[in-house]
Each structure stands twice: as C-alpha cells, then as structure tokens.
Amino acid sequence: MQTTLISADFSDAYTDTCINRLQESIKMIGQLLGFPFHEIDVMVKLVSLVFTNCFFYTPLGLYRQTRGMPMGDYSSRDSLDIDLSCSEYDIVSEMSEITSLKLFTRLVDDVSIILQGGFHDVKKMIKTMADFYPNMPLNVQISFGYSRFLDLHIYNMDPGNNDAQYQLCNILAYKEISSFCYTPEFSNIHYKYKYAIVPISLHLVHTRNFLQEDIDNHLYFMSKILEHRMQNPAEVRKKTTKYFKKKHCKNLRTQTKARNNDNAISLL
C-alpha cells in the first residue's frame, strides 16, 4: 500500500485572513462547544475591536492596518488557529469515509498529512483543502519518501527486509536561519542576546501549557533544537537553571504573600 507524505503551508496567512470570516468561525465553534449566545457575541465584537484598531509607525507617519491581522501577537496566532480549525472541521468531516487518511496535523500555518492508499485519495484531499480552507495561497508538496514539518524531517524508509511495509521515521531538521531566534555560538553579537532565546522559550512553554506532560515534551524538544543549532550546551544549561531558580523564588514569594493575606483575613 502506497504511503504519501503531504506538507503544506499558507503564504501570508495573517495578512490574508478575513476578519468577517474569523467572526463567522467564532460563531460556529462557539455553538459547537455550547457557549451562551451573549459570550459568543462578546467575542465577535472583541475581534472587531482588536483587529480594526491596529496601528504601526513608519518614518512617513502613523498608519492603521486595514487588511488581516498583525504578525507576532498571541491574539493573531490564536485567531488564525480558530479560523483554520473551523475549516478543518469540514475537511475531516468530508474525508471521514477515506480510510487511507492516517494523519492530519497542523501548527499555526504549517500542515502535515499522511495517506496510505491510492493517488485518487491524494487528489481528493487536495481538492477538499482547496474547497474548505480560506481563500489564501496554500503551498502543497507531495512525496512518497520525504516530507518536512516544522523542525522535523519525515522519511518513509525501506525497513531493509522482505516486508513490503515501509516505516515512517523522523529526525530533527537543521535550519541555518530560523524564526526560532537562532544565533550560533560563533556569532559576534552580544552574549546576552545570543542566549536570550532560552528564558524566552522557557517562559512561553510554561505560560501556554497547563499539563506537566506537555511542558516536559516542549522542554525536551526545545533542548534538542538548541543542541542541533550549534548552541553551547553549558551556557544553555546555565540559563535554564537560572530561569527555574528565578521561577521557584517567585512561586515562594507568591505562596508567602497568599499565606500572609489569609492570616490577615483570619484576624478580621
């Protein structure tokens, strides 16, 4: 049975996002999750308030963004995820009868799909994505042996025996230039900037995940990325230790303050 690896990414996903479509997606997902009408209405109005009042400054003056969403903001990323998730609800529903679909995953604007079946299923998948995804450029790559998703190389490898089934495996990708704020050890930029990515990434991991299992997986993945990007392991460990000591001290201060508040309340 033929295994097909599909990778796809959206071009200009943030600037091509339609605010009206995003509001409709919020209504749909809110209804599916059983949110009260007034809460859905507030979210829809907040989208309009936030994304119609984005300004940026240039040497020629102050401008208001009139298209899409600004990049680099949590609200933009989460809103894009809501919009695309609404499309994927329809895509997965449409493809539910196709047994060859083994994996469909996405992170922000990068998509990875694995199919095991005939090429007619591949064509159906691409057509379904074109029908239900937003009207923005989607770059699609199809391969029978290799695909790339985020920081992973995905291979469909021959096991080297008489077994006809190939095996999927992945290894960490190396990117010379990356939005992960990659700065090599041999760079002549200031030391503090070179390793600033460590506490920043640790902070993001702990603020965007609630389950300890997810936190541990992200921390392991981050350490492998830094290791493969020619960072000094000793300096990475030093920054990591400093971050956790600081976090521990902050938690102790918070607990002490909470106990003091409880004692004060009990005396009233």
Sequence spans of domains, the chain: 3-172, 191-267
Q: What is the mean pLDDT of residues 37-46?
A: 91
pLDDT of residue 209: 67
The reported pLDDT for the residue numbered 37 is: 92
- Burial environment of residue 80 by CB neighbours within 10 A (0 to 12, 13 to 18, 19 or more): buried
Residue 182 CA: distances (Å) to CA of 177, 234, 239 = 7, 17, 15
Q: What angle do CA 160, 164, 167 make, to 5 degrees?
A: 65
Q: b/e for 9-31, b at 16 or more Cβ within 10 A?
A: bbeebbeebebeebbebbbbbbe
Instruction: Name residue 217's amino acid.
Output: N
Region 3-172: CATH code: 3.30.70
Residue 38's pLDDT is 92
CA geometry: angle 17, 22, 24, nearest 5 deg: 140
What is the predicted pLDDT for the residue at 239?
Answer: 74
Summarised one tens digit per residue, pLDDT across range 147-188 is 777 767 777 765 555 555 556 665 544 443 334 455 656 666
Q: Residue 151: name the closest of 229, 215, 72, 230 by CA.
A: 229
Rounded to two decimals, the pTM is 0.56
* Dmax (CA) of the chain: 79
State how far the Cα of 103 lies from the Cα of 90, in Å rounded to an integer: 16
Pairing between β-strand 101-107 and β-strand 110-116 as defined by DSSP bridges:
antiparallel
Q: What is the pLDDT of residue 174?
A: 41
Q: How confident is the model at residue 104 (pLDDT cuts 50, 70, 90)?
A: confident
Q: Are 263 and 218 in contact (CB under 8 A)?
A: no
Average confidence score pLDDT of the chain: 76
Q: What is the 3-state secondary structure (H, E, C) of the chain?
A: CCEEEEEEEECCCCCCCCHHHHHHHHHHHHHHCCCCHHHHHHHHHHHHHHHCCCEEEECCEEEECCCCCCCCCHHHHHHHHHHHHHHHHHHHHHCCCCCCEEEEEEECCEEEEEEECCHHHHHHHHHHHHHHCCCCCEEEEEECCEEEECCEEEEEECCCCCCCCCEEEEEECCCCCCCCCCCCCCCCCCHHHHCCHHHHHHHHHHHHCCCHHHHHHHHHHHHHHHHHCCCCHHHHHHHHHHHHHHHHHHHHHHHHHHHHHHHHHHHC
Percent of the chain at pLDDT above 70? 73
Q: Of 4-13, 100-109, 119-128, 174-183, which gets the smallest average pLDDT? A: 174-183
Range 205-225 average pLDDT: 72
